[in-house]
Chains A and B, each alone.
Chain A
C-alpha cells in the first residue's frame, strides 16, 4: 500500500441495523478495506459478511445518483425518468406539501423502512402535523416490543438482551440472525466455550441453531402453547422464584374477582394519606400470610400469599394475580401442548425442569450492594442464570403478543429480569409500563398549519388513549391505535398502501417512502400492491396521487416513484444513532454513536437528513426555523449539534460530549465541537453506570434517580412486572361495556374481549383459524440469511455469489408424498396466491413447515442485475403468497393480517400446499415481471467481469 495516499477513517457500519464500529482504509480515495473497529464496544473488532462487502455496495452499479422525475405520460412501475435538479425537486415538494399542510396535513404520509433515524423522521412528521407516520416496526417485530414492554418494561430486539456472559443455560426461540448480529455471535461463542448449555426452539435448524446443544423443532405459531405449558410445569413443580415474584412483580397483588363488578379483573386499590398528588401511588394490596390479612404492597415485614382466594373486609372476593395465572394455565399441560407444538410432553417437562433447576441451583451472587425503591438495602445482586432470547419467530404471528407475554412471564417467574445471567435492559430501558409517550387521542390532534398534538406513535395505557374519532373509527391511514389494533405502538406500515389506495379511512395525496422496498419484499401481497401503486380512479388520477421515494439504489420501489430522491450511502453521510431512537446501548449503560463520511457523496446524492432539514426549513416547520421564520440550521451536522427538544432543554440527538466544552452527557448545552469529539472516540459515546446501578433497574432506587436526573425517564416509581396486565383488562372491560370512556364499535367488541386477555393464552393464528387446513396443511416461513440484508445486497457482487437465488426447503417426506424430487420445480400455494420455485429437501426442518431465505428473489432488471440473473429467474419472493388482509370474516371485511392487539404483520402465519410443477412448465420462477429499466444517473455500468483493486481507478 502506498503510504502517501492511504488513509484510515472510523465510522459506523450500515450494511445492516446492527451498527458495528468500522475502520475504513482508503487507497487513493477508494475504499480498500473495511474492518471491525477493535475499540468499539459493540463489535470489538469483528465484522460480518455484509460489513466486509461494503466496497461492493459503495461502487455498485445499482446506485442512483440524480434526482429524477417520472417522465410525463409514463406509467408508474415503468421506471421512465428524467433528471431534475435538487432545487426543482425541493420547489416541487415544498409547494405540494406546503399546500397540504395548510389544508389537511394528514393527506401527507411518511413511512420509512429499516432506517435508523426515526427520531428525525418522526419529528419531521410531527412538526408537519400529520399523524400518518411510521417506520418498519409494525411489519417487523412490534409484538416483541409491545409484548415485553407491556410486561417487564423492556424487551429483546434493540432494547435489551440475554446476559450470556453469566448465563449457564440459554434458550433461543425463533431467532435466525437478529439485529444484534455480531454481538450475539461473539456472546454465543463465548457462552459455548464457557460450557454453557444452548437450546434452540425453532422449526428450522440453521445458523445459530446449528451450534445449539439441543434443537427443539416446533410447529410455527404454537410457541404460546409451549410457553404456557412450561409455565404450568414450572409452577406445578415449584421451580419459580417466589421471592422475586412477590417483591418485583404484581404476582401477589390482589385482583377483584367479583364477576359482576365494573372493576372486575382490576387490582384492588386503597387510598391512604399521602397518596394525593402521586402520579403512581403504590396503593395495591397483598394478602399477608403471616397475619392473614390484606396489607398494602411492600408493607415492611409482610410476606404475601401468591396463591389462594380471599375476601376483603367489604366482602370483595380477591385473588393474588399469581393465582389467576395458575388458574389460567391449569389446563395447559405438557400433554396438551405436545399435541399442538409437535414436541413430546416429556421433552417439555424436562425443558421446564432444566430451566427451573439451573435457575434455582446455580444462583449467581455478585458482591454489589444496592438499594431498592422501597428502601431495602441489599448486600448483593443475585441472579438466576437462565437466559432467553427470542425474535420474529414469536413476533411475526398474529398470536405473537400473547405468546411473547407468556415468554416474559416465564422469564419473570424464573426470576431472570435485569439480573446477572438473565435478561438485561439497555438504556433508555426499562421504561414505565407502558412508556409515557402518547399520540393525540382524537381528531383535534390534527390541525392545519400546526404540529401534531402528540407523538405520531405512542403507548396507550387504556382505551381513552386510542387515536380514534367520535365513532371509535381510526384517524391514521394505517388504522393504528384504533380498536382494530389498539396497541399498534409502531403503526401498520404494511397496510398503508392498501388503505390509501382504497381511500379507507380516507384518500391521501402524497406518500413519501424512505428506505423501504414497498413494491417488493417489505409488502405483503406484493403483486397487488404494485397494481395499487399504479391504479387510477375514474378521472385518470392515480389513487395515490403523488409518490416520493428516497432510496440509494435502483430498487423495485423506485420504479413506482413520481419523484426519486437519491440518497447517499452510509460511507458518505453523517448519521446519528440517537438515544431518542434506538441507540446501541450496552447492558452496563447508555451508548450512542454516529456516522462520519469517509468518502464524498457520489454524483448528486444527498443525505435524506439534509432533505428533511431543507424541506422543514422551506415549509417553515417550527423546529427548523427561528421565530422570524428564518433558517435555523445550516445542515444536518449543524442541526445535530444545536437542536434541543425544547429551547434550553439540553436534550438533543446526541448524548455524549454535551455542554459548551463537552464536559456533560445526556443533558447539556450544545457543544460546537461535538462531532469532532465523537470522531476522536471511534464515533461512539459510551457511559458506564456505577456497578450498583447496573442491575435490577426496574426497582433500583439509585438507577431510577439517575435515569430521572438524566431525563431518561420521567418517574422514579418502581417498574413492577405485569404478570397480570391491567392495561389489557381495561380494554376487555371496555369491550364488555364496563369501562368508562371510549367503547369499541359493535363489530369489534367480541374481538377485543377475546384477545385482550390480561393473562397470556393460546389461540391459533388468525389465518389458520380462517383457512382450510386440510387444503393448506403446511406453514411457510422465511429466515434471514446472515450474508444478506433484506433486499439490499443482491446488487453486491460478492454477497450475491453466496445467495444468488433461493430454494424452498422442505422435509423429504413431503416430496415422497407429493411425487417430487430434490431440486424439482414446485408450486407453493396459499389461499392468496402461488409461486413457482425450486425445492430442496432438508432434514433440518420440522416436517409441517417449509421455509426459504427472505428477500433473495428479485424483480427482473432491478438492482442493476441483468434480466437473466438468478435472483429473478430462479429466486422467488414468498411475499406473493402472503396477504396484507385477512379474508373477510365476522370481525370485519378489511382487517389487517396482523396481531389483533398490536397490528404486527403476521408474516409467518401463512398456510400453504406444495405440489410439483407440470412437465411443460418453464423452469423459471413465477410470477415474472417486465424487466425494470436502468435509470438516468446510474453512472456505474455493470461490467461483464472485473477484478477490484482499490486506488486503481484514480491512477492515471
Chain B
C-alpha cells in the first residue's frame, strides 16, 4: 500500500515561504481552488492557505536556536478528521493515502477541522467548504507534465530542497531513507494519528581542535625566523685566532 507524504528537513529550512506562495498560486487556479483572500488590500488581510511557515525561538540568548517550521496537512495514516465528517466529504484515498475533501459533498460544518490536532484545515470563507493540502493530486499524476515535475508545487519551489516527497511505505524510497537515517519524527505522536509527513531535526556539524594542530613543523613562521646574518654582524672569527 502506498502512502504519499512530505518529509520536511528542518536542518535546511530557512523559512523563506516559497512553499507557502507556490502552493497558493498552483492551487488557487487548480482543482482545489480558488483559495480566497479577504481584505487583500485592507486591514488584517487574511486568506486560505494550505501551507504556512512559522517561526519559533528555542532557548535563551546566546544559545538561541531559531526554528522555521512549515506545516501543511500531514496526511495522517489514521486521520481523526475523516471519521467525524458527517457527509463523507473528507476521505482518505486507498490507493495513495492522500486525505482529501470533496467540495461537492462538504457542508462546511468545520467539524473535521476540530478533529485535526494540527490545525491543518482551513475553511474557505466564501466557497464555504473545508480546504486543505491535497498533496497536489492534480500535479503528481498529470501525465502531461514531464516526469520530474510530477511533484507538489511546494516541493518544486523549495530552494533548499527541504521538502522531500515520496512513499513512506516503501522502505527504499528517498523519504523513508531520510526518516530512518536522519531521525525523522512525526508531530504530536501522543494522539496516535500517525502522521505520514515527517520532520527531520536539526543536525550540527562540530569541529574539535587538538592542541598539537596549532604547532606544526611546517609552520610558515619558521621560514621567517631564518635570517642570513649580515656580513657586518660580529662572527666568532672576529674574536678568535686559533
Q: Do chains A and B touch in the complex (CB under 8 A)?
A: yes
Please state if B157 and A197 are interface contacts (CB–CB under 8 Å).
no
Please state if A208 and B14 are interface contacts (CB–CB under 8 Å).
yes
Please state if A48 and B42 are interface contacts (CB–CB under 8 Å).
no
Q: Nearest Cβ in chain B — how far from A587, in angstroms?
A: 18
> In the complex, A802 Cα to B54 Cα: how many Å?
10
Residues on B with beta carbons closer than 8 Å to the beta carbon of A206: 15, 55, 66
Asked, given contacts A61-B41, A211-B12, whether A46 binds B156 with beta carbons under 8 Å apart, the answer is yes
**Residues 254-292 of A contacting B (Cβ, < 8 Å):** 289, 291-292
Residues on A with beta carbons closer than 8 Å to the beta carbon of B43: 866, 868-870, 873
Residues on B with beta carbons closer than 8 Å to the beta carbon of A61: 41
Asked, given contacts A36-B156, A48-B18, whether A353 binds B24 with beta carbons under 8 Å apart, the answer is no
Asked, given contacts A53-B21, A207-B15, A215-B62, whether A949 binds B204 with beta carbons under 8 Å apart, the answer is no
Instruction: Type the 1/0 row for A663-674, where 1 means its CB is closer than 8 Å to any CB of B.
Output: 000000000000
Interface centre among B41, B223, B227 (most CB of A within 10 A): B41
**Residues 71-87 of B contacting A (Cβ, < 8 Å):** none
Q: Nearest Cβ in chain B — how far from A336, in angstroms?
A: 20
Q: Which of chain A's residues has its CB closest to B154's CB?
A: A52
- Chain A, interface SS category: loop
> In the complex, A12 Cα to B117 Cα: how many Å?
41
Q: Nearest Cβ in chain A — how far from B180, in angstroms?
A: 16
Interface centre among A186, A354, A361, A843 (most CB of B within 10 A): A843
Instruction: Type the 1/0 row for A158-187, where 1 means its CB is closer than 8 Å to any CB of B.
Output: 000000000001000000000001100110
- Chain B, interface SS category: loop
Stretch of B27-35, B93-101, B105-113, B165-173 contacting A (4+ beta carbons < 8 Å): B27-35
Q: Nearest Cβ in chain B — how far from A57, in angstroms?
A: 11
> In the complex, A927 Cα to B26 Cα: how many Å?
39
Q: Nearest Cβ in chain A — how far from B227, in angstroms?
A: 7
The listed residue (A33, A34, A947) touching B37 by CB distance below 8 A is A947
Number of interface residues of A (CB under 8 A): 96
> In the complex, A589 Cα to B77 Cα: how many Å?
49
**Residues 833-862 of A contacting B (Cβ, < 8 Å):** 842-847
Instruction: Type the 1/0 row for A195-233, where 1 means its CB is closer than 8 Å to any CB of B.
Output: 111100000011111110101010000000000000000
Residues on A with beta carbons closer than 8 Å to the beta carbon of B55: 206
Stretch of A123-131, A624-632, A652-660, A792-800 contacting B (4+ beta carbons < 8 Å): A792-800
Residues on A with beta carbons closer than 8 Å to the beta carbon of B40: 797, 800, 942-943, 945-946
Residues on B with beta carbons closer than 8 Å to the beta carbon of A801: 37, 45-47, 49
Please state if B57 and A864 are interface contacts (CB–CB under 8 Å).
no
Please state if A947 and B41 are interface contacts (CB–CB under 8 Å).
no
Residues on A with beta carbons closer than 8 Å to the beta carbon of B14: 185, 188, 207-208, 210-211, 786
Please state if B42 and A944 are interface contacts (CB–CB under 8 Å).
yes
Q: Nearest Cβ in chain B — how far from A810, in angstroms?
A: 11
Q: Check: A599 CB closer than 8 A to any chain B CB.
A: no
The listed residue (A47, A196, A208) touching B205 by CB distance below 8 A is A196
Interface residues on B, range: 35 or more
Residues on B with beta carbons closer than 8 Å to the beta carbon of A85: none
Q: Check: A366 CB closer than 8 A to any chain B CB.
A: no
**Residues 8-67 of A contacting B (Cβ, < 8 Å):** 27, 32-36, 38, 43, 45-53, 55, 61
Please state if A947 and B15 are interface contacts (CB–CB under 8 Å).
no
Q: Check: B36 CB closer than 8 A to any chain A CB.
A: yes
Please state if B67 and A945 are interface contacts (CB–CB under 8 Å).
no
Residues on A with beta carbons closer than 8 Å to the beta carbon of B42: 865-866, 868-869, 942, 944
Please state if A799 and B21 are interface contacts (CB–CB under 8 Å).
yes
Asked, given contacts A55-B25, A197-B205, A946-B40, whether A306 binds B224 with beta carbons under 8 Å apart, the answer is yes
Q: Check: B239 CB closer than 8 A to any chain A CB.
A: no
Residues on A with beta carbons closer than 8 Å to the beta carbon of B223: 242, 289, 303, 306
Q: Check: B132 CB closer than 8 A to any chain A CB.
A: no
Please state if B202 and A197 are interface contacts (CB–CB under 8 Å).
no
Interface centre among B68, B160, B204, B228 (most CB of A within 10 A): B160
> In the complex, A47 Cα to B16 Cα: how many Å?
10
Please state if A798 and B214 are interface contacts (CB–CB under 8 Å).
no
Q: Check: B60 CB closer than 8 A to any chain A CB.
A: yes
Q: Check: B158 CB closer than 8 A to any chain A CB.
A: yes
Q: Check: A570 CB closer than 8 A to any chain B CB.
A: no
Instruction: Type the 1/0 row for B56-67, where 1 means its CB is closer than 8 Å to any CB of A.
Output: 010111101111
Residues on B with beta carbons closer than 8 Å to the beta carbon of A27: 29
The listed residue (B45, B65, B157, B160) touching A797 by CB distance below 8 A is B45
Please state if B29 and A32 are interface contacts (CB–CB under 8 Å).
yes
Instruction: Type the 1/0 row for B3-21, where 1 means its CB is closer than 8 Å to any CB of A.
Output: 0000001011111111011
Residues on B with beta carbons closer than 8 Å to the beta carbon of A238: 216, 219-222
Q: Check: B213 CB closer than 8 A to any chain A CB.
A: yes
Q: Nearest Cβ in chain A — how far from B12, in angstroms?
A: 4
> In the complex, A801 Cα to B36 Cα: how many Å?
12
Q: Which of chain A's residues has its CB closest to B228's CB?
A: A292
Q: Which of chain A's residues has its CB closest to B146's CB?
A: A38
Q: Check: A357 CB closer than 8 A to any chain B CB.
A: yes
Residues on A with beta carbons closer than 8 Å to the beta carbon of B67: 210
Q: Check: B127 CB closer than 8 A to any chain A CB.
A: yes
Q: Check: A471 CB closer than 8 A to any chain B CB.
A: no
Please state if B44 and A33 are interface contacts (CB–CB under 8 Å).
no
Q: Which of chain B's residues has its CB closest to A27's CB?
A: B29
> In the complex, A401 Cα to B1 Cα: how many Å?
61
* Interface pairs A-B: 3 shortest CB-CB: A947-B34, A242-B220, A797-B40
* Known contacts A292-B227, A306-B223, then 4 further A-B pairs from the complex at CB < 8 Å, ordered by chain A residue: A206-B66, A795-B41, A797-B47, A799-B21
A-B contacts, 6 of them at CB < 8 A, read A188-B160, A307-B224, A846-B61, A869-B41, A946-B36, A949-B28
Residues of A at the B interface (CB closer than 8 Å) are: 27, 32-36, 38, 43, 45-53, 55, 61, 169, 181-182, 185-186, 188-189, 192-193, 195-198, 205-211, 213, 215, 217, 237-242, 289, 291-292, 303, 305-308, 350, 353-354, 357-358, 361, 786-787, 795, 797-802, 804, 811, 842-847, 864-866, 868-870, 873, 942-951
Residues of B at the A interface (CB closer than 8 Å) are: 9, 11-18, 20-22, 24-26, 28-29, 33-47, 49, 55, 57, 59-62, 64-68, 124-127, 148-149, 153, 156-162, 202, 204-207, 209, 213-214, 216, 219-224, 226-228
